[in-house]
Amino acid sequence: MAQNKQNDPLAEIRKEFSSPSWATRRDAVRKAADLLRTVPEPAVVEEVAHALHELSGDVKWDVRNAVAFAIQYLNHPLFDRIIGALIDDSNDYVRSTTEKTLRMRRSLSRSAKRQHEETGSVLDEINRLKSRYPADLAERAISIGQRHFHALAAETSHEVKGVLTSLKSTLERLEKSLEQSKVPRKAWEADLARALGRCDSIDKIVQDIKNYSEEVRPEFQKVNVFEAITEAIHIVKDGYGKGTKPPEVLEEISVDEHLLMDAPRHHLMQAFTNIIKNSYEAIQRKGTIRIQANSTEKGNIVIRFIDDGCGMTEETRRDAFLPFATSKDGHTGFGLSFAQKIIERECHGDIRVESESGAGTTITLTLPIEQVIGEFD
């Protein structure tokens, strides 16, 4: 039964699924992914599932790649058929995205599964409310819940930062008092430095959670890739606090100084910074980071970050983009997760990691040079 356009979440994208423009079809798939994340009515899921199944055989790899990403939110019997078609795709990027989707679906731990089940019961209740009350009332309830989640993250961040600022000020005053006292520096210096370091770690955890939870609409502008990478390197170096010696890193940058792309500059910088910081931490003492960028005939920019650090085990590499998945002490595991969110969700690109324990890591970004809507094949 056809829905009223006002209450039909697919009204705007239904025709776009069959558009002659591959860019429009790709964007329709991305909109469908956003829609699936809100857990729509079963009839909507059914229609989206069939549309994604059909587009999994699209002639344009960009569209198939978008489908491979979107189906991570699809709970429908067609999921297996779509994943089966894409896992053997002729395009490397599509296969890589499909593999990431499979890993995401399989990586839920027992505790995460319990949380998922608890969330599912809440969503079941929301769906029951949808069936009993007007659709717009349920949608408003979901919207309010999302706003409260983001507000809670922001408020928690503000409260904890206030406590940390006060604590750090107290510790710094204590340091000055001890310096003026007759107590030997060796008796307190290490403990005080450790306490200040713990404050910095907690501050970083809170900020990472806040950043990851935020949903913002990116503002695109022309970005000079060379300048963005260079600035990100400076940010990483400046991030090493007093008393913390950064590793000796040689940066070899092979990037055209005039290479431009459309991107939300601030967020792209955050992604670059997180990736480079990951390389610095992997190098530990002394090593090299090679950063290469080149444009392709398909209208993309491929950027590679190659380090000769400690590399990752197979398990660490598999879970590299999962929040809280880290093998490093004192780290939250949000660095590459946040980078993936920016590259894939905001910049409409692709991020891949290749690594071997003891043999370094290569992170490859594929990003569109221009953010085009309505481009025809």
- Give the pLDDT confidence of 64-83 residue by residue, as tens digits: 999 999 988 888 888 889 98
Q: Which of 8-12, 165-169, 317-321 has the lowest mean pLDDT?
A: 165-169
Residues making up the chain, counted from first to last: 377
So what's the pLDDT on residue 137? 58
So what's the pLDDT on residue 3? 47
Those residues whose C-beta lies under 8 Å from the C-beta of residue 92, and which sit 6 or more positions away, are: none
Classify residue 189 by burial, with Cβ atoms within 10 Å: 0-12, 13-18, 19+: middle
So what's the pLDDT on residue 176? 78
**Range among 2-6, 44-48, 217-221 with highest mean pLDDT value:** 44-48
Listing DSSP states for 304-317 in one string gives: EEEE-S----HHHH
Closest CA to 81 of 58, 49, 108, 103: 49
- Mean pLDDT (whole number) for 88-96: 89
- What's the gap between Cα 83 and its chain centre? 22
More confident residue, 60 or 312: 60
**Beta strands per DSSP E along the chain:** 221-224, 248-254, 260-263, 286-295, 300-307, 350-355, 361-368
Q: Report CA dihedral (114, 318, 248, 290) to the nearest 10 degrees.
A: -140
- Name the β-bridge partners of 302: 294, 366
The architecture that CATH gives domain 221-368 is 2-Layer Sandwich (3.30)
- Tokens (6 digits) for 12: 């705007």
CATH superfamily of this structure's domain 5-106: Leucine-rich Repeat Variant (1.25.10.10)
Distance CA(274)–CA(199), nearest Å, equals 20
- Tokens (6 digits) for 161: 């930062």
When pLDDT is cut at 50, 70 and 90, the band that residue 162 belongs to is low
When pLDDT is cut at 50, 70 and 90, the band that residue 112 belongs to is very low
Check: CB of residue 284 under 8 Å from CB of residue 246.
no
